[in-house]
Structure 1
């Protein structure tokens, strides 16, 4: 089958044709588009629930029809295949409809978050050249996202089409009105006129980086389907499985683990708009969920929840988490395994029937046999011996071929033979006849707050603009729920008092920084610790704040 690109986007580094053809031949790519995969699933399972939400469920037949109507309506409104659209939506059935409709129409979602503000949305809009903008009207109660979207559209001329999800606003299109106003047969005829290529861009995902400029990762139709299918094989997920998801559906993990499996195989997915541990456990029992996954705060909150025994978890075959799966397994009495994932294209995990030493002592192995993994000495291209720590580097059918419109980042991100450098340190461990990989730490300077990567350099730059701050350094401090939070070390200007956490947060949000990026502890110092070669010693700062937390009884 042809892998040519129907709707090329300037700035996208497309996979070479030879790589795409080889991936299709091996099954690492799936020879269809996401839209056609959904249509096929709807034919196989028309009355099966596709998504079960807090307020309603939607069958595959209903999902297919709603996405046909919305996709056609978006094209009729003036968007065209290859156009980009900013997405600031939560985890709801409407978000699934909006994403899948864009996939059918060839419109490329820019997978932002509702928590992003002027800085992030401004940068993403300028980078992507987005013309569309989807926002959720009822996301939270303290911030008016539609009004924010209007203000961003006034600042950025490329933004022309505003779609309000779960609400209405004068002068903007309502998602529901777009669906209702488009007859099904006319919608199908309109979409049939657009040919979507297997290697066309499906979505723009975001990389968690160390600077303030978000890097955009293009993902492609056949590639993304194959990547998700590999994860499903690794976890023994099939069409009769049931999944649950309570984190952002915009995330790469949310789409690969729930959205794409639903479209591809007819899996039923339970969606939760927010993390609520007792409710999650109730839903697992009520809907006979078979697989659950934790990135960020879910696993720690589960381990702190004392009433596990009152919930029926008998349907659950596997619970996957970033780390500490042995402790979680003992608490839930359900098979648990560690995992690793990076939006640039590698997923590691272990199924329930893997040896305990693999599930608990490593992050697993890839679900794609064509993935190549190397562990290199940091800063070199020399491989480390098996069992020693090295930088995780990989190349494969779903690996990044280049960040969007970012030649400088691309020049720094790959080895000379095309392996992506993750900046993560791992060891390789042989269990049986397979190599498994254990996460050991990071080379890159960021804070991983519940799965959201916060670039230290970005936050430091904004904190240093405070009139009372001479210099600032952000480090990760341990947190029992989020894994890490940000602690900012501040040197105050002479004669001035450094801001406390609340005042600093107000200052940063006022500058347009997302609230979740604001430091959650301030340490005022006279000077930063230095290494023997005179560089700022961030590991010493991490040890310092970790010691203080231990003294305070906050491990």
Structure 2
């Protein structure tokens, strides 16, 4: 059994193999390759717990064997939502080893998103953390309401696995919702040979048309992306990487992320959140050398650094990605944090760009880097599909040895975002410098990038439209100095409708909090284009001047976000 996906053409796959990009090794090779003398090296630090490479290998083997004993088969799918704990990585490797294909949801995703993922993949296994606010288990073991009951109804309590508080035996921290223990012999190993050309797991798209689409990533293409990232970034066994952004995020996982650090034989330090109050003491305690942040959190770090008593001198590189970084903020990194900056512009669909650590200061501050692979192919096209002149802005199209060839179960959408030659349209508006570095200028898709969290406007509009008082809604991005962009909802609604009422409704529908509009503007009508579509460009311009305090303007009422 296997998960169907759109493959690379045979001749293209053969070329990537001949060039050594695809090696036929499973993604778990990043840990398995360290089982000789390096097995005693520290792979993960999580709170007071230390996991050697030997521990990660043994524990993931044991988990994989337990899943196989439970009847899970290669090609089965799993829906996983875990916080930043060592168990996330151990579980991820276990699923890969027994051929189960996971979707790793972010910890801030709600019931709306998780239920949508479950409908797409029809999981045979669901893994959740008991500490998550949506997981409701009473002492008697019943599953009252909300997310837990919904997902248990899809897979059955005997396929719903819950992670409890940390214990000495990591496998023992997991338990089935039906009350049975998850158990396997300490030396148990999975019985399965992994096909590296098959799907290893699903990444989540940024979400440009409805609930984020699923991206099939193979062992071959993703492992190449990890290996090449390690080469470009120069990681070695001395690297200590702070995993502070969500562990499943493509940036944190593979650019070079935790998988890259594992491949290099370094150490991943788990952080519960990316705030300086959490991270600065961890940097000092564990002598962290690398960290990855989104621009809003970098700004918070820069503001906090002068007043901290924590020793940040071990920091060598701070990577910033997920959204465009302001040059003014970028320039402050060496002085405030005492380290180098590396800009990263990548996508879960594939293409990753890095500024190089030996680039000149102007390039590091003002560009988002250049493609990392010699076989990354980039086109920058105008709306008519013609290449733009060097330095001009156009839409980014890409293909290469780690850029996917189609979303899962999304044929109609794939037909719109891929051309006949297999180039993928990312929806990013970019320009290219004379030396091949990209400068991100915006988005061509109806998407809001809120501090690295991608919000699909249509998804939120569709949920909002289900409120009985709402006639129509249009959501656009508005500039924000800290987050880059925030969301503004222009709403046609019944008189006396309040933003607080609409936010409660959206939360009640299970929408993640970061997707709730930051601002509501109640209007009598919405502007239209010549063909009758909502004119979002006009709304974006209008959103720039929306006041931050309560205001009443006759046809519009504006209210700032309340907690």
TM-score by length of 2: 0.88
Structure 1 unpaired stretches of 5+: 1-6
Look up the match of 1:487. 488
Given candidates 372, 376, 380, the residue that maps to 2:377 is: 372
Q: Which residue of 2 aligns with 1:197?
A: 195
User: How do 1:109-148 and structure 2 match up within 5 A?
Assistant: 109-139=102-132, 142-144=133-135, 147=143, 148=146
Question: Could you say which residue in structure 2 is the equivalent of 1:417?
Answer: 421
Contact between 1:370 and 1:396, CA under 8 Å: does it hold in 2? yes
Q: Which runs of 5+ in 2 are unaligned?
A: 138-142, 166-172, 551-559
Query: Could you tell me which residue of structure 1 aligns to residue 230 of structure 2?
Result: 232
TM-superposed CA distance for 1:544, in Å, is 2.8
Alignment match, 1:49: 42
Tell me the equivalent position of 1:9: 3
Listed one character per residue, the Cα deviations across residues 432-456 of structure 1 (whole Å, up to 9, x for unaligned) are xx31000000000111123221110
Is the Cα–Cα contact under 8 Å of residues 84 and 129 in structure 1 kept in the other structure? yes
| 1:96 corresponding residue in structure 2 | 89
- Aligned equivalents of 2:186 and 2:174: distance in 1? 25
Query: Which residue of the partner structure matches residue 385 of structure 1?
Result: 389
Check if 1:85 corresponds to 2:72.
no
In structure 1, distance between residues paired with 2:212 and 2:320? 25
**In 2 relative to 1, CA 237–265 (structure 1 residues): closer, same or farther, beyond 3 Å?**
closer
Moved more, 317-326 or 541-550: 541-550
| Distance change (3 Å), C-alpha of 1:66 and 1:171 | closer
Distance in 1 (alpha carbons) for counterparts of 2:539 and 2:151:
41
Deviation of 1:267 (Å): 1.8
Per-residue Cα deviation, 1:129-184 (whole angstroms, up to 9, x for no partner): 21100001123xx4336644531235425886111112579852789x53xx3224
- Partner residue in 2 for 1:165: 163
Within 5 Å, which residues of 2 pair with 1:67-82? 67-82=60-75
When residues 169 and 61 of structure 1 are mapped into structure 2, their CA distance, relative to the original with a 3 A threshold, is: closer
Provide the C-alpha distance between the structure 2 equivalents of 1:373 and 1:506, rounded to a whole number of angstroms.
43
Tell me how far apart the structure 1 counterparts of residues 74 and 359 of structure 2 sit (CA, whole Å): 43
Q: Secondary structure at the match of 1:29?
A: coil
Which residue in 2 is equivalent to 1:354?
359
User: What SS is found at the alignment partner of 1:339?
Assistant: strand
Q: CA deviation at 1:268?
A: 0.7
What is the CA–CA distance in structure 2 between the aligned matches of 1:485 and 1:154, rounded to whole Å?
35
- How far off its partner does 1:485 sit? 2.2
- Higher RCO, 1 vs 2 (CA within 8 Å, ≥6 residues apart): 1
SS in 1 for 2:217: strand
| Counterpart-to-counterpart distance in 2, 1:174 and 1:231 | 42
After TM superposition, give the deviation of residue 520 of structure 1 in Å.
2.0
Q: Equivalent residues in 2 for 1:391-540 (5 A)?
A: 391-430=395-434, 434-493=435-494, 496-500=495-499, 502-531=500-529, 535-540=533-538
| Equivalent-residue separation in structure 2 for 1:261 and 1:145 (angstroms) | 35
The C-alpha deviation readout for 1:482-501, integer Å capped at 9, x for no partner, is 332221111223xx22221x
Distance 1:171 1:27, change over 3 A: closer
2:345 to 337, 340, 344: 340
Asked if the contact 1:470–1:491 (Cα under 8 Å) also holds between the matched residues in 2, the reply is yes
Shift of 1:63: 0.9
CA contact (8 A) 1:211 1:457 kept: yes
Report deviation, 1:551: 9.6
Q: Is the 8 A contact 1:87 1:133 kept in 2?
A: yes
1:468·1:497 contact (CA, 8 Å) conserved in 2?
no
- Distance, in Å, in 2 between the alignment partners of 1:516 and 1:170 is 30
Aligned-partner SS, 2:380? strand
- CA drift at 1:537: 3.0
The aligned counterpart of 1:183 is 185
Q: Is the 8 A contact 2:461 2:474 kept in 1?
A: yes
The residue that corresponds to 1:4 in the other structure is none
Shift of 1:209: 2.1
Alignment size in residue pairs? 530
Deviation at 1:111, TM superposition (A): 1.7
Per-residue CA distance 1:320-377 (angstroms, 9 max, x = gap): 2131322334432321132211111011111322111211111001221111111011
The two structures have a TM-score, normalised by structure 1, of 0.89
Partners of 1:102 and 1:398 lie apart in 2 by: 21
Query: Is the contact between residue 317 and residue 339 of structure 2 (CA under 8 Å) also seen in structure 1?
Result: yes
1:356-401: per-residue Cα shift (whole Å, max 9, x none)? 12111110012211111110113x3211111100111111000111
1:326 aligns to what?
331
Distance 1:376 1:160, change over 3 A: farther
- Tell me by how many angstroms 1:535 deviates: 4.1
Distance 1:229 1:499, change over 3 A: same
Is 384-393 or 511-520 further displaced after alignment?
A: 511-520
Structure 2 equivalent of residue 3 of structure 1: none
Cα separation, partners in 2 of 1:37 and 1:335, compared to 1, 3 Å:
closer
User: Over residues 92-148 of structure 1, what are the superposed CA-to-partner deviations in whole Å (9 max), with x where a residue is unaligned?
Assistant: 101111111111111111121233333322221121121100001123xx4336644
SS at match of 1:440: strand
Return the offset for 1:258. 2.7
Go from structure 1 to structure 2 and tell me whether the alpha carbon gap of 1:423 and 1:198 turns closer, same or farther (over 3 Å shift).
same
Name the CA distance, whole Å, in 1 between partners of 2:376 and 2:390. Answer: 18
SS in 2 for 1:122: helix
The CA deviation string for residues 182-204 of structure 1, in whole angstroms up to 9 with x for no partner, is 2243x22xx2x311011121111
Q: Describe the shift of the 1:156–1:143 C-alpha distance in structure 2 as closer, same or farther (beyond 3 A).
A: closer
Q: Deviations over 1:292-314 (max 9, x none)?
A: 11125321211332535644333
Distance, in Å, in 2 between the alignment partners of 1:42 and 1:308 is 42
1:303/1:529 CA distance change after superposition, 3 Å: farther
Q: Does 1:245 align with 2:249?
A: no
Q: After alignment, is 129-138 or 299-308 more displaced?
A: 299-308
